[in-house]
Amino acid sequence: MSVSIHPSAVVDPAAKIGEGVSIGPFCVVGANVELGDRVRLHSHVVVEGRTRIGEGTEIFPFASIGHAPQDLKFHGETSELIVGKFNKIREHVTMNPGTEGGGMLTQVGDHCLFMMSSHVAHDCIVGNHVILANNATLGGHVHLGDYAILGGLSAVHQFVRIGAHAMIGGMSGVENDVIPYGLVMGERARLAGLNLVGLERRGFPKEQVRSLRAAYKILFASTGDTFAARLEEVVREYEDEELVKEVLEFIRAKTSRPLLQPRMENGA
């Protein structure tokens, strides 16, 4: 399968170009870049740094992929950006490689959609089937689970973890960790329930969803006991339930950020 490179594109001879790659007008591809089979750069795309783009990924005009991180602690270390297969990266998207302080790697999974002007900062780890809507931004060191969705104009604080299948509403500022399957909204984001629409769309068994809802009610909708006591109750009653187990593992994991909580009824 032949490679198509527009005459106006600037491709370093040292770059590794897979079969069937298409590089459109005025694109720039650096020396340490690797483009997998059937990658398509539409036009005016810049891919620099130690960057690998997986098979079938499509990148639209004016995206900047792999340039130096926006981090004053970065001093030119040989960090990487790895983007998986069959992603769609729309106009003006920016993705930065890792830093010494974050494991030297930014990694994006497969089958993701990054809509216009979304941003993946240094040292982020992004799962599969993730969607960032227009102008959604990830601070450095964010971990984003599979099938998570970030609404337009949302922003995630550095070091925050967002669990699999979570839904972040548009214009939300997320400062704390979001449990898997969580639903988040608000300018200063709060946990607003479970992503029940997403659970239904992805065909989770109703029995598992019922157990997850019951566990969520104990953890976040009960009053009186401490959170630690409520957590112990969920462990006793639901630890063997698959979806609940995932939430428990997320809560128990080591993290530098607190857990996002619902807003109290009295507005506290």
Strands 167-168 and 149-150: parallel
Q: Is 140 among the residues known to form the active site?
A: yes
Candidate list 123, 141, 145, 182, residue with the active-site label: 123
Contact 12, 33 (CB under 8 A): yes
Q: In what order do the strands lie in the sheet with 143-144?
A: 16-17, 33-35, 50-53, 80-83, 105-108, 125-126, 143-144, 161-162
CB 128 within 8 A of CB 146: yes
Neighbours of 8 (CB within 10 A): 12
User: Considering only CA atoms, which of 54, 25, 23 is closest in space to residue 41?
Assistant: 23
Q: Which of 122, 141, 143, 165 is catalytic?
A: 122
Structure tokens at 18: 């897979």
Identify whether 123 is a catalytic site residue. yes
Catalytic one among 127, 140, 151, 182? Answer: 140
37 part of the active site: no
Instruction: State the catalytic residues.
Output: 122-123, 140
